[in-house]
Structure 1
Amino acid sequence: MTPNPFRSPHGAPIIYGHRGARGVLPENTMASFRYLRGTGAQGLEIDVQNAASHVPVVVHDPCVPMQLARGPNGKWMCAAGPKIRDLSLAQLQSYDVGRLNPDHAYGNSYPDQQPRDGERIPGLEQVLDWATGEDGLILNIEIKSYATRDDLGDPPAMLVEALLQALARHRMPGEVLVSSFDWRVLDEVQCQAPDLARGYLTYEQPGEHLTVFEGSPWMAGLSLAQHGNNLPGLIAAQGGRCWCAHHRDLTEVRIRQAHEVGVAVNAWTVNAPEDIARLVAWGIDGIITDYPSRGARHGSRGTG
C-alpha cells in the first residue's frame, strides 16, 4: 500500500489551522495565515470558491458575510451581501473583513479574536504566492460547493478547473489536500487531476446539515449501504486519501477502520483540550482547530 502522507507522523497528529486561526485572528485572511506559521501547526485549512469570471477566492460563505464584512462605507451590513460568484475580486476586496460584527451572534463565539482592520478577502493566487515560501506547509483546500443549490456558485467542473490552473502556476513546498462536502467536486478532481489527494468531508450529526445518508445529494450518487455501512471503506474505494469528519462523529473503532484501508482521518473543528486529547489517544491523524497553538500544545500522544 502506498504510504499516505496525511497519516500522523511519529505518532503525533498534524495540526491544521482552521481558516488560518479563526479563534485568534480574522478568518481566511493573510494576517491569520501568517500568524499560523508561528504556532507550531504544520497545516493550513482554507475555504475556496469562485468569484465572478471564475476567479478563485478564499472565503467561506456563498454571500458576503454580514458577521464579518463592513462595506465600502465602513458600516456593518444589515443582511447578507451579494453572492460571491457575482462580484469581482476587486469588488470583494472593497469589504473590510478585519473584525467580527459585535452585534452578530457569530461574533460572540470568538471572544479572543483580535481585530485587524483593513484585512481583505484574498484571492487564491495571493495565498498561494505566500504559501510557496512556507517550507513544509501542508495545505488543505476546501472547495465550497452547494449540492442542493446550483444558484450559489460555479458548477464542480469549473471550480476544479480554476483551482488546478492556480495550483499549476505555483510550486507548493508541501502536500496539498483538496476536500469538499460536495463529493461531485471530488469526482471532478479525480477526473481532472487524479494524482491530487482528495479528502472526503462528512457531517453525520442529525439536523439540516447532515450530509451522509442514502440518496444524499452530497455523496455524488454513492451508497453507504453498498459498502456495508462502512464510511471509511467507501472513501477508500473512491481512492480518497483522507476522511475529514466532524469530531463528534468519530470513535476509536472508526479511526481504526479507516487506517485498516489506508485512509487518514482528520477531525474538525476541534477546540476543547479534552476533545483534542481524546482524539489523539484514539490515533487521529489530523486536528483542524480554530486555535492552532492549543492544538500544537495538546496534540501529542499520551497527553490528557
Structure 2
Amino acid sequence: MAHRGASAYAPENTLPALRLARIHHADMAEIDVRRTADGHFVVIHDLDLRRTTDVAELFPERRSWRVSDFTLAEIRRLDAGSWFGERFAGERVPTLAEALDLLRADGLGALVELKVHRRDSEMCRDLADFLRAERYWRAAGSEGRLILQSFDRVTLRRVAEAVPGLHAAVLGKTYGRFGLRRIARYARQVNPHHLRVTAPYVRRAHAQGLTLFGWTVNNDHEIRRMIRDGVDGIITDYPDRVAGYRTLAA
C-alpha cells in the first residue's frame, strides 16, 4: 500500500505520488482526507497547511492555516509540490474525487484515511452520500478494493453503518480479544503501527475475522518481519521495496 502515494518519490498526497504508486508496483494507495470550510473533501494529511504548501506566503494575514478554515477555491491556489522538489512546483492539493478517479484509471485500490479534528455528523453524512453515489467505489468497498480507515472509531462506525458493505478499518493501538470482537461488529480490519505488530496479535485479529495492515514500513528488515508475522498488507513510502518480497509472502 503506497503511503500517501509513493511518497518517497513525489510530494505526498498529490496526483504525481498516486501515479508513481502504480509505477512502483503498489496494489493500493493510501490517501488522507480532510474537509474544507465549504464542505469539500480534499487529500491532505496535516490539520495545518503549512508543511506541504505555500499557504504562509500566499495568505500571510490569516490567523489560522487549518484546512477546515479554507475554502476549496483558496486551497486550489496553493502550491503543494515545491516543498518536495522544483520539478513538482505548481502541483495542487487534489480533491477526493480527483484522487479516486486517478486510482480507478490506474487499476489501484484506495485506502482512504478520514482525518477527524472534530466529530461532525454532517461530514459523516456527506462522506456516506459521496461513497454511495460512486457506483464503482461502492462495489470496490464491498470487495475490499476501497477501505475507509480512521483513528476515530465513532466517526468510522457512523460512516460504515451508513454505507452497507463498506470495508472499514480501525487505526491505532492494539486491542485485546474482546476489543477486537467489538471492532468486528462494524469493521473488517485493524491497522496498527508496525512496532505494535506481532505474530500473536495478527493471529488474534484473524481469529475475529479481521485482516491487518501495518504502517509505515520502509526498511527491508521490518518488511521481512511483517511478512513473517502474517500481515495482510504493508503500508509503505517505498512500495517497490515491498513488491520485491512478493515471493516471500506467497
What does residue 171 of structure 2 align with? 201
Is 1:23 the counterpart of 2:4? The answer is no
CA-atom RMSD, angstroms?
Answer: 2.7
TM-aligned CA deviation for residue 22 of structure 1: 1.4
State the SS of the aligned residue for 1:271: coil
Distance 2:34 2:146 in 1: 17
Question: Does the C-alpha gap of structure 1 residues 29 and 170 become closer, same or farther in structure 2, counting only changes over 3 Å?
Answer: farther
The aligned amino acid for 2:43 is: V
Match of 1:96 among 51, 57, 79: 79
TM-aligned CA deviation for residue 302 of structure 1: 6.1
Distance 2:214 2:86 in 1: 25
Distance 1:80 1:171 in 2: 40
The aligned amino acid for 2:146 is: V
TM-aligned CA deviation for residue 115 of structure 1: 4.8
Distance 1:203 1:115 in 2: 38
Distance 2:231 2:63 in 1: 36
Alpha-carbon displacement from aligned partner over 1:84-112 (angstroms, at most 9, x marks no partner): 112111101211110337xxxxxxxxxxx
What does residue 124 of structure 2 align with? 160
Map of 1:182-201 to 2, 5 A cutoff?
A: 182-201=152-171
TM-aligned CA deviation for residue 271 of structure 1: 0.7
State the SS of the aligned residue for 1:119: coil
Map of 1:70-85 to 2, 5 A cutoff?
A: 70-71=54-55, 73=57, 82-85=65-68
What does residue 183 of structure 2 align with? 235
TM-aligned CA deviation for residue 131 of structure 1: 2.6
Question: Does the C-alpha gap of structure 1 residues 229 and 283 become closer, same or farther in structure 2, counting only changes over 3 Å?
Answer: closer
Gaps of 5+ in 1: 1-15, 102-112, 205-223
Question: Does the C-alpha gap of structure 1 residues 80 and 298 become closer, same or farther in structure 2, counting only changes over 3 Å?
Answer: farther
Map of 1:117-128 to 2, 5 A cutoff?
A: 117-128=89-100
Distance 1:260 1:46 in 2: 28
Question: TM-score when scaled to structure 2?
Answer: 0.87
The answer as to whether partners of 2:202 and 2:212 remain within 8 angstroms in 1 is yes
The answer as to whether partners of 1:280 and 1:299 remain within 8 angstroms in 2 is no
Question: Does the C-alpha gap of structure 1 residues 265 and 169 become closer, same or farther in structure 2, counting only changes over 3 Å?
Answer: closer
The answer as to whether partners of 1:44 and 1:140 remain within 8 angstroms in 2 is yes
The aligned amino acid for 2:211 is: A
Higher relative contact order (CA 8 A, sep 6+): 1
Question: TM-score when scaled to structure 1?
Answer: 0.73
TM-aligned CA deviation for residue 26 of structure 1: 0.2
What does residue 178 of structure 1 align with? 148
Map of 1:228-267 to 2, 5 A cutoff?
A: 230-236=178-184, 238-267=185-214
**How many residue pairs were aligned?**
244
The answer as to whether partners of 1:124 and 1:166 remain within 8 angstroms in 2 is no
Query: Which moves more between the two structures, 168-177 or 255-264?
Result: 168-177
Gaps of 5+ in 2: none
Higher percent of residues as helix: 2
Map of 1:18-167 to 2, 5 A cutoff?
A: 18-64=3-49, 66-71=50-55, 73=57, 82-100=65-83, 115-135=87-107, 137-146=108-117, 150=118, 155-167=119-131
State the SS of the aligned residue for 2:29: strand
State the SS of the aligned residue for 1:133: helix
TM-aligned CA deviation for residue 229 of structure 1: 5.5
Question: Does the C-alpha gap of structure 1 residues 115 and 160 become closer, same or farther in structure 2, counting only changes over 3 Å?
Answer: farther
Distance 1:190 1:259 in 2: 20
Distance 2:198 2:86 in 1: 34
TM-aligned CA deviation for residue 251 of structure 1: 0.6
Distance 2:20 2:63 in 1: 28
TM-aligned CA deviation for residue 130 of structure 1: 2.0
TM-aligned CA deviation for residue 74 of structure 1: 7.0
Question: Does the C-alpha gap of structure 1 residues 197 and 235 become closer, same or farther in structure 2, counting only changes over 3 Å?
Answer: same
